[in-house]
């Protein structure tokens, strides 16, 4: 008797399963192409297939006793300011066009009028761009339950009465429940793998999963083999939206959410009532005696950190499974509000920003602009309320926040002080000689100025500014707002006043005492924001979130002529080439018509005060009497003879002026007197005040030591 090789059987079985999986994936649109973009291919490569048989539940909350209510236009759009958004001209035409939303659910009424016309007569509404049944592995995602049609209608119905969040978005419905209502996470896994492969093709921006495991997780989870698909989709820029679950009463009011809502990469959505529609008793045992706008439903699972946001979820009327309408309660109905809103956000971002938002930006915008509701303030139910504050979505506020992102961030336009620094502005690296007790910063637009002057981003909060002196080493070591570095020291900003008409702040500082001679750096910190919450663009690169800095110095002391040094006239080697003279000043001097230039400039001629103006020097040759009769600038005296100072160049790095003299000819043997005129100014505008001269002698082979004349 021959026995089968067990290892060979295992190999054959594995190959058979592999071929079956490949066939299934290709039939579902996965692996049928090989030209994925790099991001999609990388996402597909990151996936593994688990095939979890853990059962699914679509978290519907059927009533035991249904209070009869008249079918009416859904109130939810009014509650979340979507009506105001649609009526605002700034958002005209934003309806989800050119993006797609995927719904994983019980199926969809493929030819429901809420999903558009059927111009190609294929019995599928034209806005349904793809559908597939992953539970039965066929290309018919028809709905016999009604849950999936209702959910999809909340996302994207184009009906004039029961209008979805994004009425022009493309619809993709992936059925993950059998007609009998059963399902498991392996169907979800296959469906999400299809989305990973096709998100770029269909421009998918969100996936709605109004389903779960009926559990109550109090920490983030990665379960049932779908976490890698969810993570891959977020990496592709697709927002995952999941209902938080309807079992708050069942789980004895313990905080938590179901899965996939508990996945760290999924939004978790809770449900509120959209209006006063009376009281209800639900199948789980949850009851409420009354309802109202923003009252949290008693069944809605919730958690202080795992729940992302609330949206209307009871009662929401929308598409039914056979062309009609249904009205349902549940976090299942809250989640598609968010999935559809994501489509609006991405269309608006593409229009205004030229790009889609990241998933992190979607969440930040949605939560930061939300209305705050409290669990316990107006709830009248049979569950234990948490008394926590939660966010509830506000579409108009989201839209305005995206518009604000499109505006350029605020910048600093100019700086001046309480005294005119010479040109009316305090420029970068300027040295000034005025008494400064205030600095004025003018911004490009109106800045955030709440009352109290203590908000972290308040333009009048002194902590949003720094003035630092460079210390004894004359080196500025503090580079960013925060603690001073090295031996730098901080100058007190006493108070700040903002003029909203001119966008200008006045910084009162140093207790009203004028700044002393030193080097300074002024900071306007990146924490400052405009009225649209855009952070300061301090360096002018059109991106926000960086400090503005300005270096300047105070120099109220005139340069001392005694500190001027000249060429070493005693060096006989200089004698043949004595047609230039170097003069080195003790500090930075005014030159070339600019206090801030960094390159050499030619003489400007006749500009008083500039170190490179030849008119500010005087060179005379003694006459026959051998005595210098010319004491200062203004003309040769006695029998002295004036020689030409042809031009002057200035090196701002070494503070050295080079005088070209005597038409380029070397000086003849004689006695000479060079005068530096007191009209020369330092870079702060302080002039020397008194002429300063030096006498020297040229001989055939040597030069006598100079005699300095004070």
What is the CATH number for 588? 2.60.40.1220
List the single range of 5-9, 151-155, 491-495, 690-694 with lowest mean pLDDT.
5-9
Above pLDDT 70, what percent of the chain?
A: 87
Question: Both 424 and 399 in a single domain?
Answer: no
Residue with tokens 């992953």: 134
Collapsing DSSP to helix, strand or coil, 651 comes out as strand
Question: Both 535 and 588 in a single domain?
Answer: no
Overall domain count for the chain: 4
CA distance 564 to 559: 9
CA distance 562 to 235: 70
**pLDDT tier for residue 246 given thresholds of 50, 70 and 90:** very high
Question: Both 494 and 635 in a single domain?
Answer: no
**pLDDT tier for residue 700 given thresholds of 50, 70 and 90:** low
Q: What is the pLDDT averaged over residues 462-472?
A: 95
Question: Both 581 and 511 in a single domain?
Answer: no
Domain final residue, candidates 535, 554, 573: 554
Question: Both 565 and 686 in a single domain?
Answer: yes
- Residue 598 above 60 pLDDT? no
4-38, pLDDT tens digit by residue? 344 443 434 444 444 444 444 444 555 445 578 99
109-145, pLDDT tens digit by residue? 999 999 999 999 999 999 999 999 999 999 999 999 9
| 147 close to 106: Cβ distance less than 8 angstroms | yes
Mean pLDDT, the chain, rounded, equals 87
List the single range of 17-26, 375-384, 437-446, 467-476 with lowest mean pLDDT.
17-26
- Residue 557 above 50 pLDDT? yes
Q: What is the pLDDT averaged over residues 199-228?
A: 96
Question: Both 72 and 158 in a single domain?
Answer: yes
The DSSP bridge partners found for residue 263 are 221
Domain final residue, candidates 404, 434, 464: 404
Domain final residue, candidates 342, 369, 404: 404
Question: Both 647 and 608 in a single domain?
Answer: yes
- How far from the centroid of its chain's Cα atoms is residue 102's Cα? 29
| 390 close to 399: Cβ distance less than 8 angstroms | no
CA distance 544 to 424: 28
Would you state the pLDDT for residue 29? 52
- Residue 196 above 90 pLDDT? yes
CA distance 303 to 396: 26
Would you state the pLDDT for residue 423? 80
When mean pLDDT is compared over 239-243, 326-330, 660-664, the highest value belongs to 239-243
- Residue 596 above 60 pLDDT? no
Question: Both 292 and 425 in a single domain?
Answer: no
Above pLDDT 90, what percent of the chain?
A: 68
Question: Is pLDDT larger for residue 588 or for residue 507?
Answer: 507
Question: Both 239 and 268 in a single domain?
Answer: yes
Q: What is the pLDDT averaged over residues 65-79?
A: 51
Please choose, from the candidates 488, 559, 562, 557, the residue with its C-alpha nearest in 3D space to the C-alpha of residue 519: 488
Question: Both 18 and 46 in a single domain?
Answer: no
Question: Both 23 and 171 in a single domain?
Answer: no
Question: Both 109 and 8 in a single domain?
Answer: no
Residues spanned by the domain of 518: 412-554
CA distance 179 to 177: 7
């Amino acid at each position: 008797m021959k026995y089968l090789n067990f290892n060979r059987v295992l190999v054959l079985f594995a190959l058979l399963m592999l071929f079956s999986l490949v066939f299934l994936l290709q039939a579902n649109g996965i692996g049928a192409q090989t030209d994925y973009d790099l991001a999609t291919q990388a996402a597909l490569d990151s996936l593994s297939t688990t095939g979890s048989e853990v059962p699914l539940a679509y978290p519907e909350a059927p009533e035991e006793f249904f209070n009869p209510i008249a079918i009416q236009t859904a109130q939810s759009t009014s509650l979340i300011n979507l009506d105001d958004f649609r009526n605002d001209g700034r958002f005209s035409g934003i309806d989800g066009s050119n993006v797609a939303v995927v719904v994983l659910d019980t199926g969809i009424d493929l030819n429901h009028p809420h999903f558009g016309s059927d111009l190609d007569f294929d019995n599928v509404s034209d806005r349904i761009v793809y559908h597939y049944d992953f539970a039965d592995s066929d290309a018919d995602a028809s709905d016999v339950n009604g849950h999936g049609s209702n959910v999809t209608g909340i996302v994207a119905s184009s009906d004039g009465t029961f209008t979805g969040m994004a009425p022009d978005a493309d619809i993709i419905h992936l059925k993950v429940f059998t007609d009998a209502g059963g399902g498991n996470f392996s169907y979800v896994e296959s469906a999400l793998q299809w989305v990973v492969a096709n998100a770029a093709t269909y421009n998918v921006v969100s996936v709605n999963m109004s389903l779960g495991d009926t559990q109550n997780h109090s920490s983030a989870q990665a379960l049932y083999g779908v976490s890698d698909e969810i993570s891959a989709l977020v990496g592709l820029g697709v927002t995952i939206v999941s209902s938080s679950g309807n079992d708050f009463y069942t789980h004895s009011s313990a905080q938590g959410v179901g899965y996939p809502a508990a996945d760290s990469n999924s939004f978790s959505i809770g449900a509120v009532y959209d209006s006063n529609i009376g009281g209800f008793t639900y199948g789980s045992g949850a009851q409420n005696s009354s309802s109202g706008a923003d009252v949290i439903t008693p069944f809605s699972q919730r958690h202080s950190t795992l729940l992302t946001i609330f949206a209307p979820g009871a009662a929401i009327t929308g598409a039914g499974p056979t062309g009609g309408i249904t009205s349902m309660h549940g976090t299942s109905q809250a989640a598609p509000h968010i999935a559809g809103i994501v489509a609006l956000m991405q269309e608006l971002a593409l229009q205004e920003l030229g790009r889609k938002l990241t998933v992190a930006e979607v969440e930040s915008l949605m939560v930061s602009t939300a209305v705050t509701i409290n669990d316990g303030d107006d709830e009248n139910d049979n569950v234990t309320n948490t008394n926590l504050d939660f966010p509830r979505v506000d579409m108009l506020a989201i839209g305005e926040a995206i518009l604000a992102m499109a505006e350029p961030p605020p910048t600093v336009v100019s700086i001046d002080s309480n005294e005119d620094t010479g040109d009316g502005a305090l420029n970068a690296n300027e040295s000034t000689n005025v008494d400064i007790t205030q600095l004025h910063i003018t911004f490009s637009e109106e800045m955030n100025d709440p009352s109290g002057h203590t908000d972290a981003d308040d333009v009048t909060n002194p902590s949003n500014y720094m003035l630092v002196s460079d210390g004894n080493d004359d080196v500025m070591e503090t580079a960013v707002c925060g603690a001073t570095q090295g031996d730098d020291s901080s100058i007190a900003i006493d108070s700040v006043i903002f003029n909203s008409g001119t966008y200008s702040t006045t910084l009162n500082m140093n207790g009203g005492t004028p700044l002393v001679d030193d080097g300074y750096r002024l900071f306007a910190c990146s924490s400052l924001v405009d009225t649209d919450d855009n952070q300061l663009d301090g360096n002018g690169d059109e991106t926000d979130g960086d400090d503005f800095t300005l270096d300047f110095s105070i120099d109220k002391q005139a340069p001392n002529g005694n500190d001027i040094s000249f060429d070493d006239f005693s060096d006989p080697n200089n004698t043949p080439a004595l047609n230039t003279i170097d003069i080195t000043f003790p500090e930075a001097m005014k030159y070339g018509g600019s206090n801030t230039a960094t390159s050499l400039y030619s003489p400007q001629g006749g500009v008083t005060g500039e170190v490179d103006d030849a008119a500010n020097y005087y060179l005379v040759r003694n006459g026959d009497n051998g005595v210098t009769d010319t004491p200062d600038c203004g003309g040769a005296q006695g029998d002295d003879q004036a020689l030409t100072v042809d031009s002057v160049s200035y090196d701002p790095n070494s503070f050295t002026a080079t005088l070209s003299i005597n038409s380029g000819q070397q000086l003849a043997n004689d006695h000479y007197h060079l005068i530096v005129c007191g009209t020369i100014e330092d870079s702060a505008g302080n002039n020397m005040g008194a002429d300063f001269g030096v006498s020297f002698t040229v001989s055939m082979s040597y030069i006598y030591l100079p005699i300095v004349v004070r």
